[in-house]
Amino acid sequence: MPPRVVIAAPSSGSGKTTITTGLLGALAARGTVPAPFKIGPDYVDPGYHALAAGRPGRNLDPVLCGVDRLAPLVAHGATGAALAVVEGVMGLFDGRLAPGGWSGDSKASLLAPSDSNDAFLPPERSRPDDGSTAHVARVLEAPVVLVVDARGQHRSIAALLHGFRTFDPAVAPAGVILNRVGTERHADALRAACAEVGVPVLGVVPRRAELAVPSRHLGLITAAEHGADARAAVDAMTALVAAHVDLDAVERLARSAPATPVEAWDPVLEVGPTDRRARRVVAVAGGPAFTFGYPEHAELLQAAGGEVVVVDPLRDEALPERTAGLVLPGGFPEEHLEDLSANVALRSAVEAFATAGGAVHAECGGLLYLGRSLDGSPMCGVLDADAAMGPRLTLGYRTATAVADSPVAAAGETVTGHEFHRTVTTPRAGSTPAWSWDDTTEGFVQGSVHASYLHTHPAGRPEAVRRFVAGLVGPP
């Protein structure tokens, strides 16, 4: 495994994303190539990580991908990089058991209650912090840097750090970055307190209100939608961290991680033997409205014999030539209603493709796009369902069973996925639902169309990608 470090915090809202993004940018600016990772199913932070690092931001989710894949995924994502920088989720020890846990951090989870906390209960005999930053840090044998929001405290930070260092020695913070520090006098008092408990201070970052990135109902506005403003925000974070964090100390800490041998995750090995000669085009929706995807999905599609072509439903008026499969990931179609609805040509093309039996895999935002309408605006009309913004945020892990055969699952197959949405579809499920869990059904299986709110991580279900590509028909 490469040199690596985990950026954690005592709680959500401490500034992990600002520090991690700035650290990635600062390392890259001085020629140290960093590989960015985010713990959990967060789709937003990796977009800012990618802008800062100049390479894809990837997720590490032991629930969706499996614990055994974490180290191989790091080795894969860090190929060609000098070190891996892993941003944690919520507080260091907050995992599946935490109410609202794994929702993309407090940027969304504090906005509304979850439908149910039952989805976060761990399996029998699991640790209370399963799925947490601490859990991933232990698996990766990675040193931990704690980002502490220092507002409103001085010597009390010594007690906080003492608690975090002694609670679980396996992930005792090896250093601290003091964030949102006021005056130099404040900084001196904090440094003295940290010295009392022997925790090295790796940085003292002052308050900068102008670094705030706009948010909305599901958290931060994505980097793809924020455009030039996202680039400016990343540049500001980079400058702030470069000026106030000891980058040499962070690098030394990352290189102190044991050089554990690990075989890098390989999409070709994951999908197994397949005919890659007759490649069939798989159109994958992208652009500002559909940003909730994982880099490993495209890699697995390619490995299984697909030819991935990105289509932007906001601008492109036709599906790519020879399209044999269509993947519609999640995102924020509700924020782009006017442009999506106005693109009648592509909506008609999607409807015609699905009606003719083309294979379609849609998750969350993709489900909304396939329906008749979204908040009253016409969508593709593939599904007999209408969607609208609801009063509550629905989020959580789900253990679901496939109700019927579809392009991505066989009837009776059990999967682990994650819901994260504030819209409601009417009806919730079609005559043939996609999934069932907890005495309810959800989603739609209609011909060769599979559409659901449930997000899955393809690295955790490579067989689903293989199944999807193997079922494609049409000229290569």
Residue numbers annotated as active site: 364
CA dist 41 and 148 (Å) reads 23
**Amino acid (one-letter) located at 408:** V
Q: Are 3 and 83 in contact (CB under 8 A)?
A: yes
- Cα–chain center distance at 135: 17
Q: Are 126 and 88 in contact (CB under 8 A)?
A: no
Closest by Cα among 149, 155, 136, 288 to 225: 288
The widest CA-to-CA distance across the chain, in whole angstroms, is 70
- Cα–chain center distance at 78: 17
- What are the strands, taking DSSP E only, across 300-448? 306-311, 323-328, 359-363, 373-374, 377-378, 386-402, 414-426, 435-437, 440-442, 444-446
Helices marked H in 314-362 — which ranges? Answer: 337-342, 344-355
Please say whether the dihedral angle defined by the alpha carbons of residues 118, 120, 126 and 128, taken in this order, is positive or negative: negative
CA 25 to each of CA 48, 58, 89, 150: distance values in angstroms, whole numbers, following the listed order:
10, 16, 20, 23
Rounded (to 5) percent helix, strand, coil in the chain: 35, 25, 40
Tokens representing 334 are 């509700």
CA dist 4 and 82 (Å) reads 9
Length of the chain (residues): 476
Give the neighbor-by-neighbor strand order of the sheet with 175-181.
58-60, 34-39, 83-87, 4-8, 144-149, 175-181, 201-206
Q: Are 409 and 467 in contact (CB under 8 A)?
A: yes
Q: Are 401 and 413 in contact (CB under 8 A)?
A: yes
Tokens representing 194 are 């940290």
CB count in 10 Å sphere of residue 254:
24
Q: Which stretch of DSSP H or E encloses residue 253?
A: helix 247-255
